[in-house]
Structure 1
Amino acid sequence: PATQGRDPGDAINTAVQWGGFRKAGICGDLPGKSLFHVGAASASPPRAACSPGSPVSTGEQRHGPAPAVQERKRIPIPVSCSSHLSPVQAPSPSNGTGSASGWSCRPKLNIMFMKTHKTASSTILNILFRFGEKHRLKFAFPNGRNDFYYPSFFERSQVQHYRPGVCFNIICNHMRFHYEEVRKLLPPDTTFVTVLRDPAYLFESSFHYFGPVIPLTWKITGEDKLDQFLRDPQHYYDPNGFNAHYLQNLLFFDLGYDSSMDANSPLVEEHIQEIDRRFHLVMLLEYFDESLVLLKDLLCWQLEDVLYFKLNARKGSTVSRLTPELYEQATAWNLIDAKLYRYFNATFWRKVEAYGRERMARDVAELQRENEKMTSICIDGGHAVDASAIQESSMQPWQPLGEKTILGYNLKKKISKKHQKLCRKMLTPEIQYLTDLGANLWITKLWSYVRDFLKW
């Protein structure tokens, strides 16, 4: 399949040495040295590189899947930043089929998640944060803020604590994708994943969320600015305008391409094929649960690893209802994104067919049951609430400029000890979780203080 034949990218030293100083996050070859864990015998390569915790013993393995809401033992962590496969196999999660197939795959730990805008990607980040934290993986975080200096192209120098020889397991914050730079940062066996959304609905969401910081929209009059804009986009749009990239083909832009090129150019198809070669899985927001089942299968994870609550959702009253006419206009205006989405919608359903329709239906039902179970265990009232009703400041999500339209949650007062930690982790907003994981967000926090002072 095309998704299994990624570009090799830059020449990466696939014979990189095992080991590294775990606490410093150093692994691979450094000039003149072959580094191993402190106190480890040089003849015995470590099982866990690029991981700040202690290695997990092979005795912590178990066969078959655990109940989704139970705390499970840590999986053995294979060597990172090396082309060598780990000598330790982890138990197969059986992919929700109930099969005790045993030792069929190893959990994948090196992940590039290309976080696109307005695609439920914050929910996916929470899944990655939880997994990485549980297994002591090393995240590549931005330095000083919560994105990699978007909309500039990603560069390795933007990574907190980056220097040659330091490796990372997971990168997942907003960036404008630059494949070659990412490949130089992550191990050769990294799994590339992203998520798309129907471009018409993505445009509606982006238009309203980012409108306050897009000067091009400020001159639009009338009660329904979206309708007014789509009547004659060229009247308002300037591709060189400040933050104009949010107004057309945002997916294509995020993925690193020229979003204002002619939609009928043969380059569009070439770029789409390039994305297909580079990414192992392209998820779809409209089929989020099916996407997570495919992700779980691809990464050889457990069901409990992909449980989720919907984060960063807008209040229903702030969501425009696209009429069929507006939907067609928004699709035509974002024609490159529409071509991108149609292509990967087709590849997505081919993956579902390969996975098995009946098997997919069973696994989606199981995921939904476990999510509902966690909702009843964790969430006060069983649903999201307005920002003004959130009781803990640590549970307040980031809000768009001048508005309080993003919903959040309240934890139940009484949660069993077994579930307290997981409940809080699943509900923690992105900015707060980044801070908990050690990301330096001083620019983001300074902007937050300014906004609060000016009451924006």
Structure 2
Amino acid sequence: MEAHVRNQLVFIAFCISSFFMLIFYIVVDQSLEEERNFAAASESKRLDGDMFDYDLAEGKRPKCLPVSHIAFLPMDTTTDASSTRSFQRLFAQYGMKNNLSYALPTGNNEWRNGLGHSFNPLSGNVSTVIGLTENSEDFHFDIIFHEMIFDAVKIYEIMPGDTIFISLLTDPVMKFYDAWVKYEEHWLMKESFKGLSRLEAMSVFLNDTDEYLKEPRKLYLEAQMLKGKGIRKANSKMKHGIEPLIHLVNPQLFVLGFESTEFRQVDNLYQAMIKSTESQFHLMLLDEYFEDSLAILKHKLCWTVRDVVYLAAAIRRPQHKRRYEDVGLNDELVDKIRNLNKGDIQLYDTFQEVFWNSLETIGRARVNVIKHQIFSNADKIVQRCIKSWEIQDTVF
């Protein structure tokens, strides 16, 4: 009797397991079928014809209108590894193609303050933006994509109320490394690192950052009094002296407008800064996931594949995501960099979660098809017109 009951229980367990496996295969098969259908619709359009999106290819009316009022906040573009310039080119191209207006600085240093980096336009003088005068109170631009320190109030002075705010974040550890490589020959503190390798110097600096940043902090406070006047090129000591503070300690929060001369902040303050950013930005892209970012951008802005495919054809796409060990960073150095940039780490982690949630909301199958549409057509353009992915960088 006992064996009979046991056999019945085994049979019931087998039935339940089979039922759930059947459900699993149905769901997976539906997901794959959706992706195959999307891909088939995409492939049915030749490059020389109309490169429509899936809904248009199926003869459906578009569900949204393309976004034309955009404020893109570039992070530091001095690190060549960043995709920031690619997105700047994209917005410039879209604006020209659609006859949109965008704010331009009147000169190389018009938007720069006494700290040697760009800041928000219209700092008490609207004539610092081309095409805008004291009598142009009702005039608004369509796009702004130049370097600045974020100030939503100032941006809304020249942009419409329905402007979509977008930016691009980079892994703070790699951002620190790239900034170190870029500026290590210009910092005043380099005298302390004679005879040391790059990673050895980095380790020495990270072991006592407060001491090494004492002089930059002093120069930074002095430079605050020069805002709006700029630093003369002759005053290279101040410019190069403050770069360690600006580019090594939470530089992305800094660009977002959270200016602080302190090297350490409490977690509650970081979280308040991040909450403020969440409430102001509609889309935060990730540098390390360029293809996904471009697909999400295209979907969120309701643009066509044609609007982004030529950018995809013009850029040099990395073969794989950079790893810390690829540049020689061991676990100890990574931990020290993360500790110095706790604010940027929390910012990046927060928006990385938002990014993947956004991707799931759109649907992985649809995002994969959008990427396929963009980059398969980009490859066709390259094969037809371009011999190499290499292009000359253009600085906006």
Shift of 1:217: 4.1
> Please, which runs of 5 or more residues in structure 2 have no aligned partner?
1-41, 221-240
Q: Is residue 194 from structure 1 mapped to residue 157 from structure 2 by the alignment?
A: no
CA distance in 2, matches of 1:206, 1:366: 34
1:319-338 matched pairs, under 5 angstroms: 320-338=327-345
| Structure 2 counterpart SS, 1:430 | coil
Shift of 1:95: 6.0
CA gap of 1:213–1:312, structure 2 versus 1, over 3 A, is: farther
Equivalence for 2:280: 278
Shift of 1:155: 2.6
**Alignment counterpart, residue 162 of structure 1, candidates 129, 132, 135:** 132
Equivalence for 2:210: 234
Equivalence for 2:86: 123
The 8 Å contact of residues 216 and 236 in structure 1, kept in 2 or not, is answered as: yes
| Structure 2 counterpart SS, 1:101 | coil
Equivalence for 1:214: 187
The 8 Å contact of residues 146 and 174 in structure 1, kept in 2 or not, is answered as: no
**Alignment counterpart, residue 352 of structure 2, candidates 345, 364, 370:** 345
| Structure 1 counterpart SS, 2:165 | strand
Higher RCO (CA < 8 A, seq sep 6+): 2
Q: Residue 242 of structure 2 aligns to which amino acid in structure 1?
A: F
Equivalence for 1:10: none
Q: Residue 107 of structure 1 aligns to which amino acid in structure 2?
A: P
Equivalence for 1:355: 362
The 8 Å contact of residues 55 and 62 in structure 2, kept in 1 or not, is answered as: no
CA gap of 1:146–1:321, structure 2 versus 1, over 3 A, is: farther
> Please, which runs of 5 or more residues in structure 1 have no aligned partner?
1-63, 74-92, 385-408, 410-427, 435-456
Q: Residue 351 of structure 1 aligns to which amino acid in structure 2?
A: S
CA distance in 2, matches of 1:235, 1:71: 62
The 8 Å contact of residues 119 and 147 in structure 2, kept in 1 or not, is answered as: no
Equivalence for 1:133: 96
1:13-412 matched pairs, under 5 angstroms: 94=53, 99-117=58-76, 118=79, 119-145=82-108, 148-149=111-112, 151=117, 153-156=119-122, 157=126, 158-163=128-133, 164-165=136-137, 166-221=139-194, 222-224=196-198, 225-238=201-214, 239=217, 240=220, 241-243=241-243, 244-261=245-262, 262-307=264-309, 308=312, 309-310=314-315, 320-380=327-387, 382-384=388-390, 409=391
CA distance in 2, matches of 1:113, 1:65: 32
CA gap of 1:311–1:216, structure 2 versus 1, over 3 A, is: farther
- Pick which of 96-105 and 362-371 moved more: 96-105
The 8 Å contact of residues 338 and 345 in structure 2, kept in 1 or not, is answered as: yes
Q: Residue 223 of structure 1 aligns to which amino acid in structure 2?
A: S
Shift of 1:120: 1.3
The 8 Å contact of residues 138 and 169 in structure 1, kept in 2 or not, is answered as: yes
Shift of 1:71: 8.8
CA distance in 1, matches of 2:252, 2:85: 16
Which TM-score applies when normalising by structure 1? 0.60
CA gap of 1:114–1:208, structure 2 versus 1, over 3 A, is: same
The 8 Å contact of residues 75 and 84 in structure 2, kept in 1 or not, is answered as: yes
CA gap of 1:346–1:210, structure 2 versus 1, over 3 A, is: same
The 8 Å contact of residues 53 and 305 in structure 2, kept in 1 or not, is answered as: no
Shift of 1:267: 2.3
CA gap of 1:212–1:70, structure 2 versus 1, over 3 A, is: farther
| Structure 1 counterpart SS, 2:62 | coil
Which TM-score applies when normalising by structure 2? 0.69
| Structure 2 counterpart SS, 1:372 | helix
CA distance in 2, matches of 1:324, 1:99: 51
- Pick which of 222-231 and 355-364 moved more: 222-231
| Structure 2 counterpart SS, 1:167 | coil
The 8 Å contact of residues 196 and 283 in structure 1, kept in 2 or not, is answered as: yes
Shift of 1:242: 2.0
Matched positions, count: 303
CA distance in 1, matches of 2:355, 2:111: 28
Q: Residue 127 of structure 1 aligns to which amino acid in structure 2?
A: L
| Structure 2 counterpart SS, 1:185 | coil
Q: Residue 267 of structure 1 aligns to which amino acid in structure 2?
A: L
- Pick which of 228-237 and 198-207 moved more: 228-237
Give 4+ residue runs of structure 1 displaced > 4 Å after superposition: 64-73, 95-99
CA distance in 2, matches of 1:167, 1:338: 35
Identical counterparts, % of pairs: 24
The 8 Å contact of residues 194 and 283 in structure 1, kept in 2 or not, is answered as: yes
- CA deviation digits over 1:233-275, x for unaligned, max 9? 2332233352221121110011110255433242221111111
- CA deviation digits over 1:199-251, x for unaligned, max 9? 00011111212334433445433121334423432332233352221121110
Shift of 1:182: 0.4
CA gap of 1:306–1:335, structure 2 versus 1, over 3 A, is: same
Shift of 1:69: 5.3
| Structure 2 counterpart SS, 1:242 | helix
Which structure: greater helix fraction?
Answer: 2
The 8 Å contact of residues 67 and 302 in structure 2, kept in 1 or not, is answered as: yes
Shift of 1:311: 6.3
Shift of 1:310: 3.1
Equivalence for 1:11: none
CA distance in 2, matches of 1:97, 1:273: 37
The 8 Å contact of residues 248 and 259 in structure 1, kept in 2 or not, is answered as: no
Query: If you compute each CA radius of gyration, which structure gives the higher value, 1 or 2?
Result: 2
Shift of 1:67: 5.8
